Amino acid sequence: MATYPQRVRDNILPLSVGETLPEAFEEWSFTDRTIDHEHATETCELCNQEELRYHFEIKNALTQSCLWVGSQCILKFNLSVFEQGRKLSASDAKKKLDRLMQKMRLEACIRALDRPASSEENPILSNALAFYRTNKYLTPKFAFVVLWRLREHNIDHSPSFFKISLKKEKYKKDLREMQTSRVHILWPALTSAQRQIAESMGHTAPVQS
């Protein structure tokens, strides 16, 4: 069975001009193309790691060959990652790849919510998703519906995906009048300042289990 370094050599050197790994790696860069397979079923075409959910495309500038790889290989082998024509440092490259993964998770999360939204007779969830797509934030009432449905349908998500606005007096009024049990659904998505506002309205923080 081939070792990890041998697998990497076997996969990248035939597609590169350089004859050593360091030379070859200089030829490859991230193309900004990504795929979310939504399930961890794919394989990295560079190191053969299995059970990947996200694929990132890398391309050789000299041979025009492409591979679909995991983000960790891009970082591990210091493959070039660019932002507006500028090559990023290792730390900034990681931040960019992390942002792209979060974006893919968010988009998958919304796609997953579209299915129950279209099948339910109550239009509230559909209205909440339409509002989010237009405004890129949610009102407290819409946020409760979205986060509740995500939990009910066991959909992969991070509460931080959904920004909640309290800028309008109506939004503050809605939060003030909301049942505290519902505010607890919102709590992980609220900023620290918004949590203080909620507490000043008489709501309590959820008990940590």
Residues 14 and 66 in one domain: yes
Domain end call among 101, 131, 151: 101
In the chain, count of helices (H) and strands (E)? 9, 5
Does 153 reside within a domain? yes
Does 208 reside within a domain? no
Which has more pLDDT, 91 or 160? 91
Position 120 pLDDT exceeds 80: no
Does 128 reside within a domain? yes
Q: Are 160 and 189 in contact (CB under 8 A)?
A: yes
Residues 9 and 88 in one domain: yes
- What b-and-e string marks burial along 181-204, b requiring 16 or more CB atoms within 10 Å of the CB? ebbbbbbebbeeebbeebeeeebe
| pTM score above 0.85 | no
**Whole-number pLDDT of residue 119:** 83
Pairwise CA distance, residues 185 & 168, whole Å:
21
Pairwise CA distance, residues 114 & 156, whole Å:
14
Tens digits of residue pLDDT in 121-171: 778 999 999 999 999 999 999 999 999 999 888 988 888 888 999 999 999
Residues 68 and 127 in one domain: no
Q: Are 81 and 29 in contact (CB under 8 A)?
A: yes
Residues 8 and 97 in one domain: yes
Position 209 pLDDT exceeds 70: no
Quote the domain boundaries for residue 28: 4-101
Domain end call among 101, 133, 161: 101
Cα Rg for the chain, rounded, in angstroms? 22
Q: Are 44 and 70 in contact (CB under 8 A)?
A: yes
DSSP character at residue 9 = H
Tens digits of residue pLDDT in 41-64: 999 999 999 999 999 999 999 999
Position 197 pLDDT exceeds 90: yes
Considering its fold, how many domains does the chain have in total?
Answer: 2
**Whole-number pLDDT of residue 191:** 95
Average pLDDT, the chain: 94
Instruction: Give the range among 66-75, 120-129, 168-177 with minimum mean pLDDT.
Output: 120-129
Does 126 reside within a domain? yes
**Whole-number pLDDT of residue 121:** 74
Band of the pLDDT at 1, cuts 50, 70, 90?
low
Residues 70 and 126 in one domain: no
Q: H or E element: which one contains 57?
A: strand 54-60
| Cα–Cα nearest to 140, from 75, 93, 187, 95 | 187
Position 23 pLDDT exceeds 80: yes
